[in-house]
């Protein structure tokens, strides 16, 4: 069974946005994040992970959105078998967003299967991860 475990928001000011969620909704800061894609903060309410991100390349943000996009960027599902669910997702007509994965530096041949991006039927981007990738505690 899939579990919603991750939401990502694209913003111009990850520090200010993260502080809003910390102050207003009592989220806890899990860690800061930085990479070739940009920087941000990972927050948690104890169940769901909330990533507040500033992308610095159009490719990492998704070329159709670009670095200027602000708002809900993608959602993430934890699944027991990433390969099996990926097959079902593709059979349902969703397309793999390997372009975004590559721009984010997410290896498909690594020991951990996580954050593989897909585009759903309405253009909503989501990712698939094995259990524990978005562990919040």
DSSP 8-state assignment for residue 110: S
User: What is the span of the domain harbouring residue 101?
Assistant: 3-129
Whether 80 contacts 133, CB under 8 Å: no
CATH code assigned at 111:
3.10.180.10
Instruction: Classify burial at 7, counting beta carbons within 10 Å of its beta carbon; exposed 0-12, middle 13-18, buried 19 or more.
Output: middle
Task: Output the pLDDT for position 8.
Answer: 93
Local structure of 21: helix, strand or coil: helix
Rounded to 5 degrees, φ, ψ at 51 are -95, 130
Q: Is residue 137 part of a domain?
A: no
Q: Is residue 136 part of a domain?
A: no
Domain count, the chain: 1
Q: Is residue 134 part of a domain?
A: no
Q: Is residue 36 part of a domain?
A: yes
Positive or negative torsion for Cα 120, 79, 96, 71: positive
Q: Which pLDDT tens digits describe the chain residue by residue (137 residues)?
A: 788 888 999 999 999 999 999 998 899 999 999 999 999 999 999 989 999 999 999 999 999 989 999 999 898 888 888 889 889 989 999 999 999 888 888 776 666 676 788 998 778 898 888 886 655 54
Q: Is residue 135 part of a domain?
A: no
């Amino acid at each position: 069974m899939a579990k919603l475990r991750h939401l990502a928001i694209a913003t111009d000011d990850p520090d200010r946005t993260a502080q809003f969620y910390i102050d207003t909704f009592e989220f806890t800061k899990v860690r800061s994040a930085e990479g070739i894609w940009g920087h941000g903060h990972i927050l948690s309410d104890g169940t769901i992970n909330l990533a507040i991100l500033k992308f610095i390349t159009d490719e990492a943000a998704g070329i159709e959105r670009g670095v200027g996009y602000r708002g809900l960027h993608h959602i993430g599902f934890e699944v027991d078998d990433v390969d099996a669910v990926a097959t079902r997702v593709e059979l349902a007509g969703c397309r793999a967003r390997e372009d975004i994965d590559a721009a984010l530096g997410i290896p498909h041949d690594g020991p951990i299967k996580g954050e593989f991006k897909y585009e759903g039927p309405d253009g909503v981007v989501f990712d698939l991860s094995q259990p524990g990738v978005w562990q919040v505690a």
